[in-house]
Amino acid sequence: MDVRHAKPKVGSIVTIDRHDFLSGRYASEIYRLLVERSALVFPEMFLSDDEQLQFASSIGEVSLIGGSMALQNVTLDSSLSKVADYTRGAFYWHIDGANDLIPAKATMLSVRTLPEPGTGDTLIANTYAAYDDLPEQQKQALDGILVRHALEASQRYVNPTPSVSELTRWQSYPSQTHPLVWHHVHGRSSLLLGNTCFYVEGMELAEGNMLLARMMEWATQDQYVYRHTWREGDFVIFDNTGAMHRAADYSLNSKRLMRRTTLCGEEPVTATA
């Protein structure tokens, strides 16, 4: 397995024999690397659905779609996805499953239809590195801060004036209160931010919004962000417990299509290690 770091603090490009990749023999090494680097790119893998599921199962438990082991389409094309309208929320930094009690462990994307050139990159920010680099005093100030996460918050970015029926649908999904700093069992800590952040618990709204904006600006500085420009066959995975991600703008009429697998979360968000 050959590993080339894309940037000092985030992202690695991995070249691996296809058979080794699928065998699961490197699974623990790949997962260790993922947690360290937040994002891994396996260029030009051209994985079939079955191959992607086989690899995903070697890293963790695949989230079921409607009760079965299947991949999900990520696209704005509503003929290919029933939740295409929610996909626009992915233009803003987020963590998959932040509204769940136990956020997803990792997300894996294979590109099927490329976006138009110059559009539709995927950006991934290493929130372990962002936390590590905070001044000690700020780390202490963040301990104990709790944030409410909800689908409503993320959907307001793309639809700021929901109807009562839209709001009712959004609010039917789970919402969650998580600590802003996630102290993981393995000993590292990450910032839990993103478009699902609704408000900071127990803080005046304006003050809480300022805190969230400051942390978001900090965590998405260029040094923490890997930007992937998709090429045919690429397979990209990101850690959902120590990274945020977003899609760079692409046309609302684009045929851009990803096939996605998500791994079930394993660790509830904890404010103490």
> Which residues lie near Mn ion (CB under 5 A)?
90, 96
259 sits near ligand OGA (criterion: CB under 6 A): no
CA-angle at 100, arms to 21 and 219, nearest 5°:
70
From the list ligand OGA, Mn ion, none, which binds 74 (C-beta under 5 to 8 Å, kind-based)?
ligand OGA
Among 12, 107, 126, 176, binds ligand OGA (CB under 6 A): 107
Among 260, 263, 265, 269, binds ligand OGA (CB under 6 A): 260
Binding track over 76-95 against ligand OGA, x by CB under 6 A:
--------------x-----
What span, in angstroms and rounded, lies between the C-alpha atoms of 203 and 165? 29
From the list Mn ion, ligand OGA, none, which binds 247 (C-beta under 5 to 8 Å, kind-based)?
ligand OGA
CB neighbour burial string for 236-258, b if at least 16 within 10 angstroms, e if fewer: bbbbbbbbbbbbeebeeebebbb
- Residue 31 CB, shortest distance to Mn ion, in Å, is 19
Among 55, 96, 193, 219, binds ligand OGA (CB under 6 A): 96
240 sits near ligand OGA (criterion: CB under 6 A): no
Residue 170 and residue 85 in contact, taking contact as beta carbons nearer than 8 Å? no
Q: In what order do the strands lie in the sheet with 197-200?
A: 176-179, 146-149, 197-200
DSSP secondary-structure letter at 253? Answer: T
Binding track over 35-74 against ligand OGA, x by CB under 6 A:
---------------------------------------x
247 sits near ligand OGA (criterion: CB under 6 A): yes
Residue 236 and residue 46 in contact, taking contact as beta carbons nearer than 8 Å? no
- Residue 94 CB, shortest distance to Mn ion, in Å, is 6
CA distances, 216 to each of 65, 127, 194 (Å): 31, 10, 7
CA distances, 271 to each of 54, 147, 148, 209, 259 (Å): 34, 12, 14, 20, 33
Among 39, 47, 129, 258, binds ligand OGA (CB under 6 A): 258
Q: Which residues contact 120 (CB under 8 A, 6 or more apart)?
A: 114, 230, 247, 248, 249, 250, 254, 256
Among 122, 154, 155, 189, binds ligand OGA (CB under 6 A): 122
- Comparing C-alpha atoms, which of 36, 40, 60, 9 is closest to residue 188? 36
Q: Which is nearer to ligand OGA, 94 or 211 (CB)?
A: 94
- Residue 232 CB, shortest distance to ligand OGA, in Å, is 16
Contact positions vs ligand OGA (CB under 6 A): 74, 90, 96, 107, 109, 122, 245, 247, 258, 260
